[in-house]
Structure 1
Amino acid sequence: MNEYVIRPVRAEEWDKVKELRIAALRDPAAPVAFLETLEQGEGKSDEFWQERAAGGAVGRGIRQFVAEGPDGVWAGTVSVLVEEAGTTDIFDGEIEQAQAHLVGVFVRPGQRGTGLTEKLFAAALEWAWELEEPALVRVRLFVHEENARAGAFYRRFGFVPSGKVVPMPTDPSAKELEYVFPRPA
């Protein structure tokens, strides 16, 4: 595997943020991996992508990490959303303690199984644990009940099922399973 640099996005890289998200939405696993369709992603304005990149580049609320190859091509991404205590999450549940929520996990098919996802997750968790007060108590993510490959990776990485199950917002007959990674002692 060529050496990849894992780093946060930069605000001016909105076109690469857009290209990688559209590639993710074209992936055959997209219907069980993302809460957005290809048509929705392609329908968003350049202004939306500019704001998304800028929002993922700085501040405490969100950080998007990418795996950049020596040729400048992005091979993967993960975003960290900070959910502050007292707010409501995307499933309308109240957040009791400050935590992070990993979303938008994607690695291009040719790079899967190479350790790149582990490196992206390591960077995401390192950033989450370094945040100043209030310190985050855990990192969580949700996985579709039929996305066995992703679930297996999350467990290998150290996430454990919390037992929380919620209906998928885009299809209430499908279930999303919560996995958590507690703050290291």
Structure 2
Amino acid sequence: MGYLIRPVKADEWKRLRELRLAALSDPVARIAFNEPFEKVAAYPDEVWQRRAARSDEDRDPLTFIGEAPDGSWGGMVVVLVEQEDADERGGGEAPWAHVVGVYVRPEHRGTGLVRDLFAAAVEWAWSRSGPAVERVRLWVHQENDRAAALYRSLGFVETGRTMADPKDEGAVEYEMALERA
């Protein structure tokens, strides 16, 4: 199935909200996402309008969607650019792109859609100017083996950095990154 991969448009905020809530309703949401359904469902319309408008203006966080030939949205990925003031050695760090909010509806899984979404997110990150993004990263929950395998197949590697799951201090998330070639 051929998908149109594109940023969300400002007037599509209701569809964006629906897709995000579908993601947070997925059975793996507890390990895949850090925001609970109840919190996100309570966001006012202005939050969704702002998120959609930023993507439409090519500003991060930018949400890419995969639109099927019938107009339905099969999935999404969100990418933003971050930069820490300093790393643990005291030096500045180049900005990186951070991929979050990866979701593909069950009926669209296995179609290659997630690969196309990632390709768009990475291409967008690499195309940023001054200062250039040198790395795309994401965090994956220790129990999310399926996602980790997908990220490895896309060229992401574990960096050795970990953090406690914000929802469960007893669980760990680990960083995976893709370096600019």
Give, as a single letter, the amino acid of the residue that structure 1 aligns with 2:114. T
Counterpart residue number, 2:110 = 113
Q: Distance between the aligned counterparts of 1:85 and 1:72, measured in 2?
A: 39
- Whether 1:173 aligns to 2:170 is yes
Structure 1 segments of 4 or more deviating over 6 A? Answer: none
Contact 2:97-2:137 at 8 Å conserved across structures: yes
**In the alignment, is the contact (CA less than 8 A) between 2:51 and 2:61 conserved in 1?**
no
1:127 paired residue among 124, 128, 133: 124
SS at match of 1:56: helix
Match of 1:48 in 2: 47
The Cα shift of 1:57 comes to: 2.6
1:38 corresponding residue in structure 2 = 37
Stretches of structure 2 that go unaligned for 5 or more consecutive residues are none
Counting aligned pairs with the same residue, the percent is: 51
CA distance in 1, matches of 2:149, 2:70: 30
Q: Distance in 1 between matches of 2:111 and 2:172?
A: 29
Q: Match for residue 62 of structure 1?
A: 61
Aligned residue for 2:140?
Answer: 143
Q: Do 2:13 and 2:52's aligned partners in 1 also have CA atoms closer than 8 Å?
A: yes
How far apart are residue 12 of structure 1 and its match? 1.4
Amino acid at match of 2:52: A
Q: TM-score, normalised by structure 1?
A: 0.91
1:113-151 CA distance string (max 9 Å, x none):
111100000011001000111000100000000000000
Structure 2 partner of 1:97: 94
For the structure 1 residues 17 and 180, does the alpha-carbon distance in structure 2 shift closer, same or farther, using more than 3 Å as the test? same
Relative to structure 1, the CA distance from residue 70 to residue 59 in structure 2 (aligned partners, 3 Å threshold; closer, same or farther) is closer
Structure 1 gaps of 5+ residues are 89-93
1:155 deviates by 0.3
